[in-house]
Structure 1
Amino acid sequence: MKLSTMRRWVSPSLSIQGKIFLAFSLVALLSIVSISVIVYFNMRETIKSNAVTSVSDSIRQADESLNIMLEEIDRLNTVVVTNKNTVIDTLLSSSEEISFEWFQEQKRIEEFLSSLVANKPYIARIAVVGLNGKVFFTGGPWLDKSILETPMMDFMLRNGSRHAYLKQTGVTETITVGREIRYDRQTIGIVMVDLNYDFIRKTYGVRPTADSMLYVLDQQDEFVYRSDHTPSFAPSEQRIVDMNRKFAKLGKVEGDVEEKVVGGRSYIVVSRQSDHTGWTTLALIPTDSLLIESARLLKLIIEASAIVLLVVLIGSLQVSSRITINIRRLKSMMMLVKDGNLTFPKKEIRTKDEVGQLYHVFIGMVEELKRSFEGIHISEQEKREAELTALQAQIRPHFLYNSLNTIKYLAKLNGTPNIEEVSGSLINLMRGVLGNSNEYLTVREELDYVRSYISIVKYKYMEPILVHEEIEDTSLLDSRVLKLTLQPIVENAVLHGIGSRDQGGFVTIRVYEDNRDLMIEVTDNGKGMTPEQMEQLLGGPGTKPTSSRFSGMGVRNVHERIVRSFEAPYGIRLYSEPGLYTKVEIRFPNLRAQIGAGQEVS
C-alpha cells in the first residue's frame, strides 16, 4: 500500500494517539499479511518441490533396483547360453523323450538351472527351450513345447540377440527376460527367466499421495506396471500412452518434471527412462491432493497471524498512550491559557524529547505573555499620559505658524519684502518638516524645499546664492525619493563649500536617469575635501555623525537612510578635489508609483 493511500485512511479529526495506533495497526497488518503470503506460497512451492524430489528419487531408486535384478538375470542368461557341456550339447543331442538318455539330460540341465537361481527369490522360473522341441525348466508355472507356437517365442527370437524384455499376462503376471542360444552361428534355442511380478510391485510402489499414479511402459508402449489402486478420475491408458509418446518426442525422458492438465485436472508429471531396459516411468501426482497439507498450513498461518496482530494492537495501544500522555498534559495547560488563565497549576513534564522541549518553550511563552500583559497595562497608562502631553504640545507648532504669518503680514504692511520672503520660506520649510508625515516625496517637492532654504540662507551672506537646476527629463520630477534627502546635501554644500568663498560660488543640481535608476548630483565649486574628510562625512570607522545646522540630518544620515531602505548599490558617493569642487552623487531606484503616507517601499 502506498503512503499516500495510508494518509487518506487516517482522518484529520483523529487524535495523535489514534493516528499512531492506526498507523501501527496498518503497518503491522500489512507486514503480517505480506509475510504470511510469502511464507504460504514458499511452503506450497517447497511441498511441491519436496514431493517431486521424493518421487524422482523413488523412481530412480526403483529403476536402479530393477536394473540390478535385470543385470543379474542377464548374467545368468549369459552363463546359460555359453555352457556347452550342459546346455548346448543337451539341445543338440539326438535322444528322444522318455528315454534313459533324455531323462539323464533333463536331470543334469535342471540341476544346473536350479543351481543358478538358488537364493534368488525374485526369479519365478528359468527355462531353456530348444527349437527342436526340447524344453527344460525349473520353477513354475509348467512349461512344454507348445510355447514354440506362441507370440512370445516369436518376440524372443526377433529381439533376443542380446536381451529381450517382455511382460506376460495370464494366470500370473511376469517379466520375462530372454536371450538366444546360438551354436555354429545358428539359433538353436532360447533361455528365458521369469521375474516375479511381486518384486516389481514392491519396487515401484511409490505413492506420495493416496490418489497418485505410476506407470511403467516398455518401448512398444505396453504397460509393464501400473498402480494397483487408481482413482476414478485417472486418465485412460490411451492418454498415458499419448503422453509417453509426446514426452519421448520432446526428449523429456530423463527425470523431467512438468505441470500438465489432463482431463480437466492438474497434475505434476515426473518422467524417467531407464538406460538399461529403455522403459519409461511416468508418475502423475494430482496437484490439489498434494497441496492439502498446504491448506492446513494456511489455516495455521492465519490463526498465528491473528494472534500476533492482536498482540501488536494491544502493544501499539499501550505505546501510543505512553507516547501521547505528555501531549495531552500540554494540551490541557494550553486550553487553560486559551481561557485566559495564566496562573494555572503546571503539570511538570520532565522528558528531554521534543514534547519536553515544547513544554519548556510553552512555559517560557506564558511567562513572557504575563510580562507582556503587565507591560501593556503600564503602556496603556503611559499612553493616556502621553496623549494628554501631545494634546498640550499641539498648540506649539500652530502657535509658531500663526506667529510667522503675523510677522509676514507686518513685513508686508511696513514694506519690507526681505522679511516677508524669509518668513514665507520658513513657513514652507516648517510645514514640510513638521506638517508632512509622508516618508516619500517627489523630486519636485524636494526642489521646492531647497528653494525655500536658499531664500532664507542667502540673507546670511548678504548676496545671492546661485543654484542651477538641470533636469534632463521633466517626468523625473514625479519620481519618489526619501523625504529630506536633497536639502541636507545642498545645505552642506552652502555652509562648508561655497560659504567660505568671497564671491562667485554656485551650486548645480542635476537630475537624470542612469540604467533605469534615478540620479541626483549636487556639485559646488567650494574648497573641496580630502579623502579623510569624505570618509568622515560618510561615516567611516571610528567617526561620529555630523549634523546639518537646519534639519539635524547630515550627509551620513541621508546615506544610511538610503542604504537601509534600498540596500546597495543605492546611496551616496562623493567626488572632490581640494580647492576645486565637491560633487555628491545620489542614486535612487526610479519610483514613479504613487506612495502613500507612511508606506514602505520593498
Structure 2
Amino acid sequence: MNRIRALISKRINVKVMALFIIVLACVLICTTAITNYYSTRFIKEQRVKYNAQVMSQTENSLLQLNNQITQFLNNYNRESQYQKLYLSNITNFDFLVMKQQIEFETDIKKLIYVNHLDEVIKDMIFYYGDQYMFGIGDGVLDKNYKISGTEWYQSFVDSKSQYMVYGPVDESYKAKNTVREQVMVFFSRLVVPSSSAFKTEQKPFVMVSVKFSAMKEMFEQLISGSRGIVVSDPEGHVVYTSNEAYADLKIIHDKEYFKDLTERKKDYVTYTDQDIFITSTYVGKYNWIISTIDSSEELFKDVDQLVRTINIIVFAFGVLGVLIAIFLIKRLMMPIYVLNHLINTIEEETDTYIDVTTNDEIGQIGQRFNQMKRRLNELNKKMYLSEVRAKEAQISALQAQINPHFLYNTLDNIYCIAQIEEIDPIVELTQSLSNIMRYSIDCKDMYTTVGEELKHVENYLNIINVRYDGSVRLVKEIEEGLEAARTIKLLLQPIVENAWVHGIRKKAIPEGIISIRIYRRADDMEIVVEDDGIGIGEDKLEILNDSLSIFTEEIRTPKNKGFGIALINVNDRIKFMNGEGYGVRIDSIQGAGSKVTIRLKYME
C-alpha cells in the first residue's frame, strides 16, 4: 500500500503542476482577451454616447438655423411687390420707383435684424434670370455672371423642391472688387404670375447666403483634445475638416460605410482601427455627414495598463493556487486516487471486495467502498425488479389506450345506426359527443385556435339543446381575423357550461341566450361571455372575484375552493401561461345575468 501511495503521489505532483501551468496560461490569455474586449467596448460605448450627445447639439444648431432661414423665406416671400418694383419697370426707373425699391430693401434688412439673423445672413438675391437679378446685402453682384450655368443652380432646378440648401460655395457671382468668402445658399422658388408680361427661361428664386464661418463655429464646438472633425457629403466630398490629414482617410470616402446613415437605418455608425475611432451621423437637411475622429492611442491608453495589472494579480494568485492545490491534494485527494487505483482492479468482478489492512483514511474509504459495493448489489436486484414492473406498467398503459378508440368506434356505430334509422336527435348527440371527446382527450398541444374553441362550445350546446329542446341560443360576435388566433385549449366551454348550469338552467323557464364577443386590444385579446341567467349574489360574487385575483401555481380543486371551480381553473391556466396581469373577471346582477371577461395575450 505504501509503494502504491508513493507512486501515485509522484504522478499527482507532475499532473498537478502541468495542469495548473496550462490552466494559468489559459486564464491569463482569457483574462487579457476578456479585459481588452469589455474595456474597449465600454470605452467605445461611453465615447459614442458622448460624441452622439455633442453631435446632437451641433445638429440641433444646424437644424435651428435651417428652420430660421426657411421661416424667414416663408414669412417674407413677397413676390408680387418685388415684381412690381423691379420687373415691371425695367426700362423706366423714376424717382418714386427707386424710393420704393430702397424702402423694400430696408424692410428686408430690418426683418433680418428682427429675426436675429444679421450675424449669419450675408446677402439676399432675387433671381428671375441671368439678366434680372438683384441683391440686398454686402457687395455688388457681377452683372455678367451666369448663375444658370452653376452647379448649385442646376441642383436646385433638378431637386423640384420648394426649398433647398447647398454649399459651401464661393461668392463668384459678386464683382471682382468685392470681398468674397464661402457661404451656404438657401433657395426658395419664385413664381411669375401668368398675367405678368415678364418672361424668362430660367427658374426664378430668392436666395439667402449664410456665412459658412458661422457654421464652422458650430463644427468647432465638437473639437476638443485629441478629437477632430470631418464634415462630408454622402459622395465623399469633404466640406470641412479640423485637420487636412483627415480628408485623405479612405473611410471618409467609403459610401458603403455611410449607407445605413443615409438610408435612415441607423442614427450613428462607428469605425475603429489601430489609429482612429470614428463616430458619424447624418444631417439630412444639409445632406452632410458629420464625423468625429478620436485617437485610438489616447482613447484606449488606460486599457493596456489595466490588462497588465490584472495579469500580474492573476499570475500571483495562480502560483499561490498551485502551491495550495498540491498541499490539499496530498492531504485530501490522495486517498481518492489510491481508491481509484484499487477500484480499477475489481470493477469487472461484481463479487470482489477490497482487502482492508489499515485503519487510516484509505482503510476507512476501503471499508465504505465495500459497504457501498454490497448495497449496489442489492440495488441492482431491486432495479431489475423495477424494470420488470415498469415494462408491465407500459403494457398496461398501451392496453388502456385502446379504450378511447373503442369508445370512438362505438359512438361512430351509434351514429351510423341513427342515420340509417333516421333518428336525427341521436345523430346530432353522438356526433357532438364524439367531437367533444376527441377535442378534450387530445393532449398533443395545450394551444388551439379561437375557431376550434368555438366549435367545441357549439358541440357542447348542441347536446344541451337536444336534451332541453333548444333552450339555449348562442350569439357570436368575433372581430375579423381572430378565429385563426391561437388561444389556450378548453377555455370557453367551462365558462359556457357555468353560464348554463348556474345561470340559465335555474331560471323559472330554463331558456336563454349566451353571447360570446371576442375583440383585439393592442397586444391582448378580450373575450366576453354573457348570459341572461339568474346572476350571482353580491357576497358570492365578491368571494369569487377575490379567488380569481389570486395567482398560485398549485392546482385548485373543488375540494378546497367549492363554487366557481370552472372559472378558477380557466383563470389559473391563463395566469400561469400569460402572467399576473391576465385572467378572468366576472360581473353579475342577481336576477339579470352574468358577464365573464377573459383577458389574455394575443397570439397569431
TM-score by length of 2: 0.41
Q: Which has the larger radius of gyration?
A: 1
